[in-house]
Structure 1
Amino acid sequence: MIDLESGYILRPVNPVFIYFSLFCALLLNLLPIGNYGWVPDWLIVCIIFWNIHQHRYIGVTWAFIFGLLMDVHNSDLLGLHAFSYALVAYIAIAWQKRIVALSVASQALHLLPIFLLVALFPLLMHWILSGEIIWWALTGAIQAFIEALLWPLATRILLAPQRRPIDVDHTRPL
């Protein structure tokens, strides 16, 4: 795979690193810092990243499983996050060829609707099921904007192990 930002050929990804990064993102989501609008959903950023860059290892099934874990953690309607995570993983895989060809800032703008979908889907389902809107839950839009702003940082961190050279040779042009 080629990193279109720098022009370097990336090393193959280690599946252990993928699962370790997802586990770390899950642990960040499980921190007891509250359900505030400024706290990003670290897990969905990581799921979308790996579905765009390595969808052979992380797919819709893993997104669904992580969504079930988040439903249990949030004591929410079972399947609410699971469906939204799986839907977003499917959209990320479908948009993969388009998003990889863009710069990182353009990727963040293209992924903003996906982040908004994940943040506002629980609000929409609660509205459909109960008939009332929880207005404070609209702060999920702030969460989606913060996740889009974190996308360049996530890209730099999660692609870092693939960017390092196997052996450094200063006379080699690549």
Structure 2
Amino acid sequence: MIDFQSGYILRPVNPVFIYFSLFCALLLNLLPIGNYGWVPDWLIICMVFWNIHQHRYVSVITAFILGLMMDVHNSDLLGLHAFSYSLVAYVAISWHRRIVALTVLSQAVHLLPVFLLVALFPVLVHWALSGELYWWALTGAVQAFIEAMLWPLATRILLAPQRRPIDVDHNRPL
């Protein structure tokens, strides 16, 4: 795979690193910080990143399983996060060729509707099921903007192991 911003040919990704990063993102989501609008969904950032860059390792089924874990953790309607994570994974996989060719900031702008989808989907489902719309729950839009702003940092961190050279030769300039 080629990093289009630098023209650097990336090394193959280690699947252990992929699943370790997803596990760390899940642990960050499980922290008892609270369900505030300014707390980003770390798991969706990591999952969308791997769906775009390595969709053979992180599929819609992986997103569904991680969504079920988040449903159980949040004591929410079972399948709510699972469906929204699966939907977002499907969109990310179908857009992966378009997104990879863009700059990192353009990627963040293009992924903002995806982050809005996953942030506002639970609010819309609760509204459809109960008939009551909690306006304070619409702070998920703030969460989506924060996730889009964190996209360049996530890209830098998650691509770092692939950018390092295999062997460093100080006599060869390339």
- Hey, what does 2:166 align to over in structure 1? 166
- Pairing 1:71–2:64 present: no
The Cα shift of 1:34 comes to 0.2
Identify the residue that residue 109 of structure 2 maps to in structure 1. Answer: 109
List alignment gaps of at least 5 residues for structure 2. none
Quote the Cα distance in structure 2 between the aligned partners of 1:153 and 1:81: 24
Q: How far apart, in 1, do the equivalents of 2:171 and 2:132 lie?
A: 66
Counterpart mapping for 1:51-90 below 5 A: 51-90=51-90
4+ aligned runs moved over 3 Å, structure 1: 170-174
1:95 corresponds to: 95
For residues 87-120 of structure 1, give each alpha carbon's deviation from its aligned partner in whole angstroms, at most 9, with x where no partner exists: 0000000000000000000000000000000000
Report the aligned-residue RMSD: 0.7
Q: Deviations over 1:5-58 (max 9, x none)?
A: 111100000000000000000000000000000000000000000000000000
Between the two proteins, what is the percent identity of the paired residues? 84
Q: Which residue number corresponds to residue 29 of structure 1? A: 29
Counterpart of 1:44 in structure 2 is 44
Post-superposition Cα deviations, 1:41-85, rounded to whole Å, max 9, x if no partner, equal 000000000000000000000000000000000000000000000
Q: TM-score, normalised by structure 2?
A: 0.98
How far did residue 172 of structure 1 move? Answer: 3.7
| 1:113 maps to amino acid | P
Q: Do residues 143 (structure 1) and 132 (structure 2) align?
A: no
Give secondary structure in 1 for the equivalent of 2:8.
Answer: coil
Aligned mates of 1:148, 1:9 — CA distance in 2: 25
How big is the shift at 1:170? 3.5
Instruction: Give, as a single letter, the amino acid of the residue that structure 1 aligns with 2:162.
Output: Q
Name stretches of at least 5 consecutive residues in structure 1 with no aligned partner.
Answer: none
SS at match of 1:84: helix
TM normalised by structure 1 equals: 0.98
Q: What's the offset of the Cα at 1:171?
A: 4.3
SS at match of 2:127: helix
- Per the alignment, residue 15 of structure 1 pairs with 15
2:99 alignment partner AA: I
Aligned residue identity for 2:40: P
- Which residue type is aligned with residue 128 of structure 1? A
